[in-house]
Amino acid sequence: MIRYSLQCCQGHVFESWFQSASAFDSLTLAGHVTCSVCGETDVSKALMAPTVCHVSEGVETKTQDKQAEAIAKMRQEVEKNATYVGGEFAKKARDMHEGLSSETSIYGEANLADARALIEDGIPVMPLPFKPKQKLQ
């Protein structure tokens, strides 16, 4: 897995994880990498600096608070605009990709082997930085 700092053409900067550099390239080319703020598909890699521990606890806390806010906002958008399919995620994503069911926004869980198979088959998926509320109950 590789983490990239990304930027959309509107100037929003965000991060996302990809299986590999080639997975990022193929997903971007297919228009499946979108800005987490505005949904724009014109996304490119942004300049990244290595992670450095902050000496000041206040700075580190502010960064963590901003990250938590961004993740909470992402959760809200996903839950509002997609259907939770639980452990059926890999099957439903594959069925949509193969035209066996209509395309819709879904989220759920997949084991590592199933997720890897989806990515290797060119099926656009991405990990979410939170556990679905249904999974937490």
Per-residue model confidence as pLDDT tens digits over 50-103? 666 555 556 667 778 888 888 889 999 999 999 999 999 999 999 999 999 999
pLDDT tier, 137 (very low <50, low <70, confident <90, very high otherwise):
very low
Q: How far apart are CA 121 and CA 88, in angstroms?
A: 17
Residue 49, pLDDT above cutoff 80? no
Q: Higher model confidence: residue 133 or residue 92?
A: 92
Give the pLDDT confidence score for residue 76 in this predicted structure. 92
pTM above threshold 0.85:
no
Give the pLDDT confidence score for residue 113 in this predicted structure. 92
**Two tokens, residue 67:** 């990250």
Q: How far apart are CA 30 and CA 123, in angstroms?
A: 10
Q: How far apart are CA 42 and CA 31, in angstroms?
A: 8
Residue 117: helix, strand or coil by DSSP?
Answer: helix
Q: What is the pLDDT of residues 1-40, one digit of tens each?
A: 788 889 989 988 888 888 888 889 988 888 889 888 888 8
Residue 121: helix, strand or coil by DSSP?
Answer: coil
Average pLDDT rounded to a whole number, residues 100-124: 93
